[in-house]
Amino acid sequence: MTRRKVYLQPVRSKLSHKHLELSVFNPVSVSVLDQLSETNGAKAYTELGDQDFYLWGVRDTENNRKGWEQMKPGDIVLYYIDLNRLTLAAEVIKTIDMEELSLKIWEPDSRGTPFSLLYQHNKPIDINLSWPELKRKFRYRENANIQSFRRLSLEQSDIILNMLNISTYFDFEELEMEPSILEDIDSIGGADPSISETMKEELRKSRIGQGKFRRDVINLWKYCSVTKIQNLKLLKASHIKPWRDSDNDERLDPYNGLLLAANYDHVFDGGWITFDKKGKIVFSEQLSAREFMQLGIDPEVELENLSDETKLYLSYHREHVFFK
């Protein structure tokens, strides 16, 4: 398990308040990614997904980069807008270093420096933490104020997490990650002239759960295949037989897909859970029952109304992906 860290992000200047309106109070439209160069556009879609997103960025200075490089999914960012209170909190999803995207969303500072060290987070929630009270707990000077992006110590992070009733540990980082998505995308088509550019584009999108593959999987399942969550923004179209192991037809086949909430998608994709012939969930012995519970994985869930085609793909998953 990974210990969460807490970051403080001051929002003091008129420019930063403008940025707050553009990408924190309101999500950034995913259409902005279409305005990027081909390379950056593909990278941004891979990293940020195909839905509108919340984003912040800091200048690429030595101190900022040191803290930003240590930022991991599951860490918490507190926006320090009011001198006396911390009023917004968000959970980090992804970090990405991309000056071009920064300049498409925000104007640079007065010296022309862009805010290129980016971090995506979920929709922020309103909080009400007293800064004077935190200063006492942190043993800061009475007149201390946060002037720049800062990572708190683990002890300070734990104080805030306890005050917000957020768990101090996050589990996803230790799960084994799949091979590079960008490598897979770059491999599409190769020297095969029979694959049209339109087909290549759909294959690229299918690799990251987008495009026709996602639409068809949504049409097939309607909601999360296991939790029945209906909010599509929370769900990912996940391949059962891994994209890398599939032929081009299988890569776009909706029966080779499950529509999953993020926690189930991650452990299914990593081989830590699978489903038996009747659709009942099966846990890998390489993680403990407590770890599955902490990840929010319900031992009673199952897939319903399985088609014969999906059963075949699940058989492959049990045999070649699942960690027994």
Return per-residue pLDDT of the chain as tens, 324 residues.
578 899 999 998 999 999 999 999 999 999 999 999 999 999 998 888 888 999 999 999 999 999 999 999 889 999 988 878 888 999 999 999 999 999 999 999 999 999 999 999 999 998 888 888 888 888 888 787 778 899 999 999 999 988 887 877 765 443 333 344 444 544 555 545 555 555 555 555 545 445 678 889 999 999 999 999 998 878 888 899 988 888 888 988 999 999 999 889 889 988 999 999 999 999 999 889 989 998 899 999 999 889 999 999 999 999 999 987
The helix, strand and coil proportions of the chain, stated in percent and rounded to the nearest 5, come to: 40, 20, 40
Burial letters for 294-307: b for 16+ Cβ neighbours within 10 Å, e otherwise?
ebebeeebebeebe
- Answer whether 135's CB lies under 8 Å from 146's CB: no
Helix (H) or strand (E) holding 4, with range, is none
Sequence ranges of the domains in the chain: 2-170, 183-320
Give CATH superfamily name and number for 2-170. Answer: ph1033 like domains (3.10.590.10)
Rounded CA-CA distance 250/316 in Å is 12
Q: Are 103 and 126 in contact (CB under 8 A)?
A: no
pTM (predicted TM-score): 0.55
Hunting for tokens 């859970």 — which residue is that? 273
How many beta carbons lie within 10 A of that of residue 213, not counting itself?
A: 24
